[in-house]
Amino acid sequence: MLLLIVFVFVFAFLTLLLGKFVHSKFFKFISIVPFLLFLFFTSFIPLLKDGTKNIFYRTEWMPSIGVSLDFKLDGLSLLFSLMITGIGTLIYIYTSSYLRGHPYLNRFYTYLGLFMGAMLGLVLSDNIITLFIFWELTSVTSYFLIGFNNEDESARKSALWAFSITGLGGFFLLASLVVIGSITGETSIHEILSHSNSIQGHEAFGLILVFFLLGAFTKSAQFPFHFWLPGAMKAPTPVSAYLHSATMVKAGIYLLARFTPILNDGDLWSKSLLLVGGVTMVYGAFHCVFRKDLKGILAYSTISALGMLVFLLGIGTELAIYASSVFIVVHALYKASLFLITGAIDHAVHNRDITILSGFGEKMPILATAGFISALSCAGIPLTFGFIGKELIYESTLEGGVTYLAIGLTVIAVVTNIFLTCSGLLAGIKPFIGELPKKFSKVGKLELGIALPPFILAVLSLVFGVFPNWINQGIINSVTRSIYGDFINLDLKIWHGVTTALLLSGLTILLGVAVYFIVRQSHNSMRFIERFEVFAPQHMIEKLIEKIRVFAYRYTGLTQNSYLRIYLIVIVLFFIGLVGYKLFADVPLQVNTEDLSAFRSYELIVFIITVIAILFTISTSSRLTAIASIGVVGYCICLIFVFYGAPDLAMTQFAIDTLTVVLFVLVLFKLPSFLKLSNRRIQARDAIVSIAFGTLISLITLQALVSPADKEISRFYAENAYTLAKGKNVVNVILVDFRGFDTLIETMVLSIAALGVFSLLKYNTKDEESSE
């Protein structure tokens, strides 16, 4: 399995190189790769369909810290893998026509391939570390996809919003996974499953749950983090169809489903998911019917559908988990189809305004058929897969009997589905009925590569609606068992008899159609929503960010104002405060002068020279004299190293001081004559900080003399310097071998700094260039 995921990433990068040698019209053939991946995963259905078997793949990665590249294929991961590769194949085909001739088509396919690899890695990972790595890769690759039209400022801003929100969630997710790993001592997810009781009983469980849910909610666009998803509609349509129907936004749902057996305590977990999912599904459904942009309608209806899935996972019963498993597929099929239909219309007429679009049925018959079926599935009309999914939702909310909670949950579900029905009719039927506007009369027929993918998805909604047991016995039961944990054997049926759920479905359809006829006549619906924009989460977060920006500007102006002396003062004061507090609060101060060696005459002479050089440095009015005095101080320190048997340190100090003095002298040629830039108050401040810092270092040094020394580390280096690294100079061996990467990185930093200094020395202003 690791080789398969690596292959996807390698294939993505090869696609980037392919664009230099292959014409864009041949890019349709690379869709063979995701199709072969789809066939590969399809071959596992017979093995996993009963939910009793799981397939594990293990590759050691960092065994010293218990991290390995573990992958697990069960019903849940198989379902997502099939959606990622199956819908991905159709997106590849669609893109080859939709973006034909685009100068960066190969780059787009590269981003798409990298995202596919990241999603496959995420859903197949059985290790919390690798899961998080792939989780972050989905955020990074989606950033490039959403901001693909990088010349458009709004696209760049939307990509940044999506990356910021999901990246913030990733931080919280990492924190929760680290704590889970520390509690259980395991990084394997299937091993952590056996420690669910210890996790739920731990005193930090509440914090784990909050952080984990923040990570999942940000990625799955739950309220109040939902606003990045409508903004992401600035991306090309293939991105919207792929990321926001079956992959990226479902990653948060996958995470919740995967960790349900581990974190579902029956109380906090359920209440949190019910509350957030319920608010999100109603909020998104209500907003979608007031949008004019087809993509806006689909974006908010997607938010609502994601809230519905979280809501069902929050109910947490066997039937609710079963309903969520079905609805994952239902939504992926009709929503991907509707997104692709929207893109096809936009590609043909460059317009997505629902109040203008109409009458395209004759011009685009295949697309109209796909839109009609997808809208019916979204509305839950009988003989579509959406009808079965909607009935299961109502059966889940009514399962507890006639109680206030059951009635409340059912009302929320009915209201949501009414608006979702309307949104499906607006996006799937409205553009194809009525009279065709004259300005669109010359629209030609669509390419097969654009019309066929949404049609295939729509047909699947119809096929699974007529023959639901095909998918039920093939994958749904296995998915439900992966989430719920116990064996289940439920059947999907077209007809359950006249039940309360059936009556509610009929009521939903009637009211949804009624809302559709009301909304389609309104041309000012957005004005109603815009009145409440000031209370929208995005508006509030933008205001908060603006206040943070102002604070950061003022704080930076105080502490990061381009004066090196201020930077040093801030660093030194922080060190004095932190270390000084710890020293005086926790360490019993002792000063023992008995073991100190006597002052020898030559040491006294060096000390006096050092003091005189320091006084010259702080009192002279000549830069050259100050630099020379600093050099004298450095050479005196070299002598002290020699006196105490450290010639290697003395040579290092000598080389550094000499180089520093030479560089300072070279810089002097570029500087104006000496200016007195500080007054007495600033000098007094600097003196106080310097004395405090020097006193603290002296106390630490004296305290170190009386503190017991742990020489285990130094003994290790001394014993192994020659045997392991073949070097007799322990310090050099540490720098070059034991901590070679540190030295390498430090060398790189110094090299970069040197290049920066060289660039500044070579820099000429425009005035200087003109004078030359």
Tell me the C-alpha distance between 5 and 171, whole Å: 24
Classify burial at 178, counting beta carbons within 10 Å of its beta carbon; exposed 0-12, middle 13-18, buried 19 or more.
middle
Distances (CA, A) of 379 to 386, 511, 603: 7, 11, 91
Is the Cβ–Cβ distance between 305 and 420 less than 8 Å? yes
- Band (24; pLDDT cuts 50, 70, 90): low
pLDDT (average), residues 563-576: 87
Same-domain status, 405 and 368: yes
Structure confidence at residue 434 (pLDDT): 86
pLDDT(644) > 90: no
| Helix runs in 497-536, H state only | 500-520, 525-530
Same domain, 338 and 354: yes
pLDDT tops 60 at residue 767: no
Weakest-pLDDT range from 235-239, 435-439, 488-492, 632-636: 488-492
> pLDDT per residue over 624-637, tens digit each?
888 889 889 989 99
Sign of the alpha-carbon dihedral angle for 483, 188, 179, 280: negative
Q: Is the pLDDT of residue 735 over 90?
A: no
Residue 650, pLDDT score: 87
Predicted pLDDT of residue 528: 62
| Residue 77 located in a structural domain | no
Establish if 115 belongs to a structural domain: no
Q: Kindly indicate the confidence band of residue 744, based on its pLDDT and cuts at 50, 70 and 90.
A: confident
- CA-based nearest residue to 231, from 288, 300, 170, 277: 300
Sign of the torsion formed by the C-alpha atoms of 184, 190, 196 and 199: positive
CA dihedral for 259, 265, 268, 270, sign (positive or negative): positive
For residue 561, name the pLDDT band (cuts at 50, 70, 90). confident
- The reply to whether 632 falls in a domain is no
Q: 161, 225 in Cβ contact below 8 A?
A: no
Token match 């425009």: residue? 766
* Minimum mean pLDDT range among 318-332, 357-371, 443-457, 484-498: 484-498
Same domain, 553 and 467: no
Residues 295 and 408 in one domain: yes
Q: Are residues 284 and 386 in the same domain?
A: yes
In a domain, 385, yes or no: yes
Would you say residue 342 has pLDDT above 90?
Answer: yes
Per-residue pLDDT band for 213 (boundaries 50, 70, 90) equals very high
Task: Say if residue 692's pLDDT is above 60.
Answer: yes
pLDDT at 521 over 70: no
Which one is predicted more confidently, 60 or 471?
471
Q: Are residues 325 and 312 in the same domain?
A: yes
432 located within any domain: yes
- In the chain, the largest separation of any two C-alpha atoms, in whole Å, equals 108
Q: Identify the residue with better confidence: 542 or 336.
A: 336
Q: Measuring CA to CA, how many Å separate 523 from each of 29, 62, 291, 461, 531?
A: 43, 60, 10, 32, 16
Does residue 379 sit in the same domain as residue 521? yes
Sign of CA dihedral 476, 480, 486, 489: negative
> What average pLDDT does this structure show over 659-667?
82
Number of domains in the chain: 3
For residue range 76-107, list pLDDT tens digits in order: 999 999 999 999 999 999 998 888 888 888 88
CA angle 233, 235, 236 (to 5 degrees): 115
Is the omega angle on the peptide bond into residue 224 within 30 degrees of 0, that is, cis?
A: yes
Residues 410 and 317 in one domain: yes
Q: How confident is the model at residue 65 (pLDDT cuts 50, 70, 90)?
A: low
- Please say if the pLDDT value at position 25 is more than 70: no
Q: Are residues 365 and 498 in the same domain?
A: yes
Least confident range of 185-189, 341-345, 768-772: 768-772
Rounded-to-integer distance, Cα 70 and Cα 191, Å: 11
Residue 424: pLDDT over 80: yes
* Residue indicated by tokens 């389609």: 520
21 has pLDDT over 70: no
- Ramachandran category for residue 155: left, alpha or beta (phi over 0 → left; psi -120 to 50 → alpha): alpha
Structure tokens at 502: 């059936």
Of the listed ranges 43-52, 145-154, 326-335, 421-430, the least confidently predicted one is 43-52
Please tell me the predicted confidence (pLDDT) of residue 43.
92
3-state secondary structure at position 54: coil
pLDDT band per the 50, 70, 90 thresholds, residue 746? confident
Locate all alpha helices (DSSP H) within 289-364, ordered by sequence. 294-315, 318-349
Task: Kindly tell me the sign of the dihedral angle through the C-alpha atoms of 318, 322, 325, 328.
Answer: negative
Position 60: which residue type?
E
Reported as a pLDDT band with limits 50, 70 and 90, residue 522 is: low
Strand positions, DSSP E, 565-660? none
Distances (CA, A) of 213 to 208, 223, 280: 8, 12, 14
Give 652: exposed, middle or buried? Use CB within 10 Å, 0-12, 13-18, 19+.
middle
- Please check the confidence at residue 28 and state whether its pLDDT lies above 80: no
Same domain, 451 and 537: no
| Domain identity same for 344 and 370 | yes
Residue at a domain's end among 485, 514, 530: 530
**Is the backbone of residue 95 left (phi > 0), alpha (psi -120 to 50) or beta?**
alpha
Q: How large is the average pLDDT for residues 363-386?
A: 93
Q: What is the DSSP letter of 533?
A: G
For the chain, what's the residue count?
772
CA angle 212, 216, 221 (to 5 degrees): 145
Residue 198 located in a structural domain = no
Q: Angle at CA 282, nearest 5°, toward 288 and 371?
A: 40
Q: What is the pLDDT of residue 22?
A: 63
Q: How confident is the model at residue 485 (pLDDT cuts 50, 70, 90)?
A: confident
Percent of the chain with pLDDT over 70: 94
| 436 assigned to some structural domain | yes
Task: Tell which residue, 274, 278, 281, has the closest CA to residue 305.
Answer: 281
Phi and psi at residue 55, to the nearest 5°? -110, 125
Residue 143 has pLDDT above 90, yes or no: yes
For range 510-514, the mean pLDDT: 93
Q: Is 253 exposed, middle or buried (0-12, 13-18, 19+ CB in 10 A)?
A: buried
Distance from C-alpha of 211 to C-alpha of 177, rounded to nearest angstrom: 9
Shared domain for 421 and 513, answered yes or no, is yes
Residue 759 lies in domain: 711-772
Q: Could you tell me if residue 17 is inside a domain?
A: no
Question: How far, in Å, CA of 457 to CA of 464, rounded?
Answer: 11
Kindly list the distances between the CA atom of residue 219 and the CA atoms of 297, 628, 726, in Å, as whole numbers in the listed order: 20, 59, 52
pLDDT tens across 597-623, in order?
Answer: 777 888 889 989 999 998 888 888 777
Domain boundary, last residue among 515, 530, 545:
530
Per-residue pLDDT averaged across 718-727, rounded?
82
